[in-house]
Amino acid sequence: MSRIAYVNGHYVPHRDAAVHIEDRAYQFADGVYEVCEVRAGRLIDERRHMERLKRSLRELRIAEPMGEASLGVVLREVARRNRIRDGIVYLQVSRGVAPRNHGFPDPAVRPAVVVTARRLDIAAAERRAAKGVAVVTVPETRWARVDIKSVSLLPNVLAKQAATEAGAFEAWFVDADGLVTEGSSSNAWIVTAEDVLVTAPADLGVLRGVTRTLVVEVAARLGLAFQERRYSLKEALAAKEAFMTSATSLVTPIVKVDGQMIGDGRAGALSRALRFHSRDAAERGGELSSPRMAVLTKD
Ligand code: PMP
């Protein structure tokens, strides 16, 4: 089956899908994006992804390319045309196509929209989560506005490549004060010896992950202790558990940081419970079916 992409109002074969060389995302990384998980053919947390997209556009003063409902139709249509049951849809909005000048095009041009979709290997993701993954740390070199989900991702690209070359799955950024900010494409969490979930505040310096928000809600409903605060790499290395969150990895336990074992070196009980409940809640549109399960799986 041939893949289909959406490009500026048209559904086109993926192999022919192209944007103009003067698209500002191509020239300046002047665009934003979202990655939304598709599970059992349904978009997960669509509303939050749309809200974050609108915020990113607002912060960069890029016009909304179309109404939220129409955009939702396009996302679902691309998923449907590609027969995605479990996978992701990728949405990118750039400031548009204009002669190359750094300042905004004047008069403004229409924002350019691209949507693609692809399958994810769910079984492989489950195996990875059951085993837990390794991360390596890299210096935080990104700009101060990583709260905007812009396509300007070069430090993230280099970080992920460093992880891959080290045989790890993800890279964590550590700032000049020795504090963990987030992963190259995920939020970073630890569980303290007292079973407190900790992740960095999602204001400046960290992207407000949709999965992060979901996990905060799930943790609250499970009665788990949660602190939104900065933490050091040193604290992370001494943590009982660690995990990462993102739309594509959901909650994935971390068992090694820079070659050092976290906890007993196995996927943590709370991390696994949060994975289970977060998936469950996402599939139910935010509802939690069995709030006591985490306690049972905590062993
Ligand atoms: N931080 C960064 C830098 C990311 O790229 C992502 C993935 N989009 C996340 C965090 C996690 O966000 P989400 O849960 O919305 O996928």
Nearest Cα neighbor of 2 from 146, 12, 287 is 12
246 CB less than 6 Å from ligand 1? yes
Tokens of 261: 């074992």
Render pLDDT for 112-128 as a digit per residue (tens, 0 to 9). Answer: 999 999 999 999 999 99
**Is residue 35 scored above 90 in pLDDT?**
yes
**Model pLDDT, residue 204:** 75
Tokens of 95: 């400031």
Render pLDDT for 98-154 as a digit per residue (tens, 0 to 9). Answer: 999 999 999 999 999 999 999 999 999 999 999 999 999 999 999 999 999 999 999
Alpha helices in the chain, H assignment, sequence order: 24-28, 46-60, 68-81, 122-131, 154-165, 210-221, 233-237, 269-283, 293-297
Q: How far is the CA of 148 from the centre of ligand 1 (A)?
A: 11
Q: Which of 186, 214, 244 to mutate to test ligand 1, by most ligand atoms within 8 A of the CB atom? A: 186
User: Is pTM beyond 0.85 here?
Assistant: yes
Query: Who contacts 197 (Cβ-Cβ below 8 Å, separation ≥6)?
Result: 189, 190, 191, 215, 219, 224, 225, 226, 227, 270, 274
CA–CA dist 67, 212 (Å, integer): 26
**Model pLDDT, residue 291:** 52
Contact 269, 299 (CB under 8 A): yes
Render pLDDT for 184-238 as a digit per residue (tens, 0 to 9). Answer: 999 999 999 999 999 999 987 999 999 999 999 999 999 999 999 999 999 999 9
Q: Which residue has its alpha carbon closest to ligand 1 atom 12?
A: 209
Query: Who contacts 128 (Cβ-Cβ below 8 Å, separation ≥6)?
Result: 169, 252
**Is residue 286 scored above 80 in pLDDT?**
no
**Is residue 9 scored above 90 in pLDDT?**
yes
Helix/strand number for the chain, H first, E second: 9, 16
Query: Who contacts 46 (Cβ-Cβ below 8 Å, separation ≥6)?
Result: 36, 72, 75
Contact 96, 109 (CB under 8 A): yes
Mean pLDDT of the 41-52 span: 96
**Is residue 46 scored above 80 in pLDDT?**
yes
Nearest Cα neighbor of 35 from 251, 247, 183 is 247
Largest CA distance in the chain: 62
Kindly state the helix (H) or strand (E) to which residue 182 belongs, with its residue range. strand 179-183
Nearest Cα neighbor of 263 from 234, 236, 240, 235 is 240
**Roughly how many angstroms between the first and final C-alpha of the chain, as a whole number?**
45
Active-site option among 149, 160, 240, 256? 149
Q: What are phi and psi of 128, to 5 degrees?
A: -65, -45
DSSP string for 51-109: HHHHHHHHHHTPPPSS-HHHHHHHHHHHHHHTT-SSEEEEEEEES-B--S-SSPPSS--
**Is residue 293 scored above 60 in pLDDT?**
no
181 CB less than 6 Å from ligand 1? no
Tokens of 52: 């974050």
Contact 226, 191 (CB under 8 A): no
What integer best gives the mean pLDDT of the chain?
95
Contact 176, 140 (CB under 8 A): yes
Query: Who contacts 289 (Cβ-Cβ below 8 Å, separation ≥6)?
Result: 280, 281
Q: What percent of the chain has pLDDT over 90?
A: 92
Confidence of residue 162 (pLDDT cuts 50, 70, 90): very high
Confidence of residue 295 (pLDDT cuts 50, 70, 90): very low
82 CB less than 6 Å from ligand 1? no
